[in-house]
Amino acid sequence: MAKILYFDDEIDSLLNSALEYLRKDCFHEVDEVSELTEAEKKIYNSKYDVLLLDIRILPEKRRNAKGYEDKDWRRTGVRLIERIRNGVINGASSKSVPIIVITAVMHPPTLIEIENKGAKGDAFIHVIQKPFRLADVQAAILAALNHGGVND
């Protein structure tokens, strides 16, 4: 059984199905958060085996009823990855914790930045494009757990 953190500001029905599958069929413990500060606290206070993250996360302070104001929305998730890999917010979780990015952002420079910031040393990083297949998420989690030694 693995402990997984899922961080996304918008959880849709397919993601809900994937998370339920991870809990019920794979017996993983899955925490869900939708705010950046909450994700950082969880990463600092709990030891996670895998992080599932979106990249396009709007900082709480920049949201409004009319839509998104933040022109730099794409970088919030990238910044989180960078902070994790640099050990800035790591307490209980390792800075080399495997990270799986589930995102609709397929902008090549952003994808390169994700890989560069996420693959420090021997750290595991994998990107899954939305919309995704449940099998893709399952395979990525299994690869991440095997990489991190959880399934040994």
What average pLDDT does the chain have? Answer: 81
Residue 152's pLDDT band (boundaries 50, 70, 90)?
A: very low
Report phi then psi at 18, rounded to 5: -65, -45
Closest CA to 80 of 122, 47, 125: 125
Q: What is the pTM of this model?
A: 0.83
Tally of CB atoms within 10 A around 136: 15
Q: Is 53 helix (H, G, I), strand (E, B) or coil?
A: strand
Q: What is the DSSP string of 102-127?
A: EES---HHHHHHHHHHH--TT--EEE
Assess contact for 124 and 144: CB atoms under 8 A.
yes
Assess contact for 123 and 148: CB atoms under 8 A.
no
CATH number assigned to the domain comprising residue 7: 3.40.50.2300
Give tens-digit pLDDT for 43-74: 989 999 999 998 877 655 555 555 545 455 54
Please report, for residues 58, 59, 67, 103, the alpha-carbon distance to residue 70 in angstroms, rounded to integers and kept in the order given.
Answer: 7, 8, 9, 18
Entry field: residues in the chain: 152
* 97 HSE (CA, 13 A, CB side): 31
- The residue segments making up the domain with residue 77 are 3-148
Name beta bridge partners: 126.
Answer: 100
Domain count of the fold of the chain: 1
